[in-house]
Amino acid sequence: MPIRRRSASSTTLRASGPHSSDTCALSLKWVFMLMLDLGGHRNFIQRHHFNDDEIAAELGLQELVDADDFSPALALRRLKRERLVFDLAFPVVGYPDRLQANVQALGQLIGLDAIEQRILAFCVLLHTDPCLNDASDQLGALGFNRTMRVLSTLLDIPQQDVSPYLANEGRLARAGLIEVNARSCTVSTLSSRLVIESSDFLQQLRFSHGQPIELFKYAFRLSPLGHLSEKDYHHLGRSIEIATIYLKKALAEGRRGVNILLYGPPGTGKTQLSRLLARLLGASLYEIACTDSDGDPVSAHQRLCALRSAMSALQTQKALLLLDEIEDIFDTSPLPFSSKSKTQKGWINRMLEENSLPCFWLSNDIECLDNAYIRRFDVVIELPNPPKSQREQIVRECSGDRLGAALVEKLIEHQEMTPAVIARAARIARSLHPRAGKRLDATVECLVDATLKAQGFEQLGRQKAQQLPSFYSPSLINADIPLDGLIDGLRKHPEARLCFYGPPGTGKTAFGHWLARELKKPLMVQRVSDLVSPYVGTTEQNLARAFEKASEEQAVLLLDEVDSFLQDRKKATQSWEVTAVNEMLTQMESYRGLFIASTNLMRDLDAASLRRFDLKIHFGFLKPLQIQTLFYAHLQTLKLKDPAKTSGLRLSREANLTPGDFALVARRARFKPFASAEELAQALLAESRLKMPVQRPIGFVH
């Protein structure tokens, strides 16, 4: 759509007819040429009226608009006469407003010659002067060759010279200034053939009074300095070192086609890493705009045009470019049968191979990128959520080490906690409560919890339910092998694969917690619901990420209900069931840490998985002595007594009690306290008898 801008004055340019202040003399000259020299009058002058009354008024034909005796011949004669009057009144016409100065300054900045500047200025007026835009439509649908002839006539340029300037290899196209729509068959007016994507750019060229580089403020901006350092990215290993050395050489040698892909969940520090690398290299970092001057998002095509403009405008600077949230750029198939997607894909591939300035490409979702794109990136760096040690460092730095120990522990224990969430919450909380204290802690926790909830993650402190009781001991587990020496063995040989199997509640997960605590390693518990996906291939990807994340955290990985991933492949009915097992076996084989699998259904496991476990431990129901020990430990915690020992003795004769039963009734006591030891025993007996098989009578029941 043309930009309709009305100037402050409404000077009449010709006495022979009214003239809008929206139209400049140069535009009007081209309107006369469109009508008379290029044949636009054939569509403009109809049998009984003008095709466009506003254009007629601009051309001095107002008195004929409402004439009852309208004559096409008379209208044509008047049109020719008005042109003669105009030529006498304006023997020389120039560019309006600041257009000429801005186009010349832009030409010096990116290397446009006089003809390229003339073409660009025409396109600006074409899209900002309504009269010129509407008059060009009177030519009707234009093919590419006729478009070149029209430009040749209007701009007084030999026709054979016009095409090279508007070719894809021309500077106007390479700089992202003008795009020639050469393939369109349905929309093919002059203004739709010569496209300038950004309306902000049109405004800047015609009216701006700033420096030449400011003409592109719609397209890119200088990135602010980052606040993170190399030590904040210690978990990335050698990736930063490699990227720094490579970019340093690329800048020194002026290499083309240098691209760095940074991907990972939102808030993991991708933008900050780009700023850090720019600072280490002593280079300026410019961010390609995602929104226009009104704050509205721009299209993927506009962003690519802006990228081209940045490369042209900054070619003499020591600069790096950054494109954030690139998912829309690489989504080239919104229309299944559209040729545009193929064109854009080819354009992107070529840009990745030939871009003149090094670029950072940031993505929150690597799945959106085709492998054909990924292989064209020189350096690919994944930014996962930082490990626990890094999270602690980030929390203390962002908060100025002013948060209480309890809150710090909550923050660093949350596996989905990202630097951006911590930094934003700490910044807001410190602005409200400059001093350390309960109010600061409460504000940070409230802000973080709200963000985590909105992201679909568990809130802080939800892992408390998994903490072990103070009286926990491996001696309270009825295992088929002694557990006493296991911890010493794992300290000497930390790489191991263990399988815990047995009835529910027998303490498999709790023992995993105890092992991690004794080994002084974080525990990462993954359940079926965390990993299984209905989409093909996603379950396998989730499994791979779980093992990778555990490796980064140097954590003990406990996979609960492992039978869902290691079921016997002979019983599989779907192909994905087999691939999930294969992926699980592969990850188990390659994992260089302590992996614990727990299951209630040992018989359902694939035979190949059983060979991969270094140790298989059966967890059974509690023995009488263990029952009594647990019972009296809970009595002490609940401040209850059993002086005669009758409740404990009677309970010890039960065969189906588990540590999980004790944990369950202990939780119940929080909201419905037990009045006596006998009442506690009865509750445990009830839980035990729920597991007893139902005896069905033989014969008929009356």
Q: Is 5 helix (H, G, I), strand (E, B) or coil?
A: coil
* Residue recorded with tokens 């009984």: 48
Report which secondary-structure segment, H or E, holds 525: strand 523-526
CA–CA separation, 7 vs 5, rounded Å? 6
Q: Is the pLDDT of residue 333 over 70?
A: no
Q: State the average pLDDT over residues 202-219.
A: 90
**With contact defined as beta carbons under 8 Å apart, do 291 and 390 qualify?**
no
The helix/strand count (H/E) of the chain reads as 33, 14
What 3-state class would DSSP assign to 70? Answer: coil
Strands 259-263 vs 379-382: parallel, antiparallel or unpaired: parallel
User: What residues form DSSP beta bridges with 525?
Assistant: 558
- Is the pLDDT reported for residue 332 higher than 80? no
DSSP one-letter string for 641-686: --TT-HHHHHHHT-SS--HHHHHHHHHHHHHS--SSHHHHHHHHHH
Q: How confident is the model at residue 462 (pLDDT cuts 50, 70, 90)?
A: low
| Dihedral of alpha carbons 301, 306, 312, 317, sign | negative
Q: Distance between CA 133 and CA 148 in Å, rounded?
A: 17
CA-to-CA distance for 176 and 191, rounded, in angstroms? Answer: 17
Distance of alpha carbon 418 from its chain centroid, rounded?
14
* DSSP secondary structure letter of residue 33: I
Mean pLDDT of the chain: 85
Q: How far apart are CA 396 and CA 408, in angstroms?
A: 8
Least confident of 274-278, 599-603, 690-694: 690-694
pLDDT of the residue at 693: 59
Q: What angle do CA 350, 272, 256 make, to 5 degrees?
A: 25
Sign of the four-CA dihedral 249, 252, 254, 259: positive
Beta bridge partners of 545: none
Asked whether the predicted pLDDT for residue 210 surpasses 80, the reply is yes
- Binning pLDDT at 50, 70 and 90, where does residue 12 land? very low
**Residue percentage of the chain with pLDDT more than 70:** 91
Q: Which residues contact 98 (CB under 8 A, 6 or more apart)?
A: 206, 207, 208, 209
Three-class SS of residue 362? strand
d(CA 643, CA 637): 16
Q: Phi/psi of residue 616, each to 5°?
A: -120, 120
Helices 300-313 and 339-354 meet at what angle, rounded to 10?
Answer: 30
pLDDT at 603: 83
Q: How confident is the model at residue 339 (pLDDT cuts 50, 70, 90)?
A: very low
Pairing of strands 556-559, 594-599: parallel
CA separation for the pair 680, 648 (Å, rounded): 10
Indicate the DSSP class of residue 34.
I
Chain length of the chain: 702
Share of the chain above pLDDT 90, in %: 35
Per-residue pLDDT at 694 exceeds 50 = no
CA pair distance 357, 149, nearest whole angstrom: 36
Angle among Cα 476, 653, 693 to the nearest 5 degrees reads 95
- Which residue shows structure tokens 């290299």? 281
The average pLDDT across 304-312 equals 91
pLDDT of 18 reads 38
pLDDT tier, 11 (very low <50, low <70, confident <90, very high otherwise):
very low
Band of residue 9 on the pLDDT scale cut at 50, 70, 90: very low
Output the pTM of the full model: 0.72
Whether 262 has a pLDDT exceeding 80, the answer reads: yes
Judge contact between 367 and 400, C-beta under 8 A. Answer: no
When pLDDT is averaged across residues 552-575 and rounded to a whole number, the result is: 78
Q: pLDDT tens digit string along 383-423?
A: 988 877 778 888 888 778 888 888 888 888 787 888 888 88
CA 265 – CA 637 distance, rounded (Å): 43
Q: Which of 53-67, 163-177, 565-579 has the lowest mean pLDDT?
A: 565-579
Instruction: Label residue 696 exposed, middle or buried (CB < 10 Å: 0-12, 13-18, 19+).
Output: exposed
Q: Cβ neighbours of residue 443 under 8 Å, at least 6 residues apart?
A: 425, 428, 429, 432, 433
Q: Which of 229, 223, 319 is nearest to 269 (CA)?
A: 229
When pLDDT is cut at 50, 70 and 90, the band that residue 13 belongs to is very low
Closest CA to 307 of 451, 416, 176, 157: 176
pLDDT of residue 575: 63
pLDDT at 284 over 50: yes
Place of tokens 């070619």: 315
Residue 236's closest CA among 379, 106, 335? Answer: 379
Confirm if 89 and 81 have CB atoms less than 8 A apart. no
Other Cβ atoms within 10 Å of 605 Cβ, number: 22
26: number of Cβ within 10 Å: 20
Alpha carbon 322 to its chain centroid, in Å, reads 14
Q: Are 581 and 569 in contact (CB under 8 A)?
A: yes
| β strands within 145-225, DSSP E | 179-180, 194-195, 220-222
Q: Is the pLDDT of residue 1 over 70?
A: no
The pLDDT assigned to 182 comes to 64
pLDDT score of 438: 86
Cα 331 from Cα 369, distance rounded (Å):
8
Residue 337 pLDDT level (bands cut at 50, 70, 90):
very low
pLDDT in tens, 503-548: 999 999 999 999 998 998 888 888 877 787 777 778 888 888 888 8
- If one compares 468 and 100, the residue with the highest pLDDT of the two is 100
Which two structure tokens, joined as six digits, stand for 115? 């003809």
Tell me the CA distances in angstroms from 111 to 97, 120, 221, one per residue in order: 23, 13, 21
What is the per-residue pLDDT for 436? Answer: 84
Per-residue pLDDT tens over the stretch 152-192: 999 999 999 898 999 888 899 888 899 887 655 555 899 98
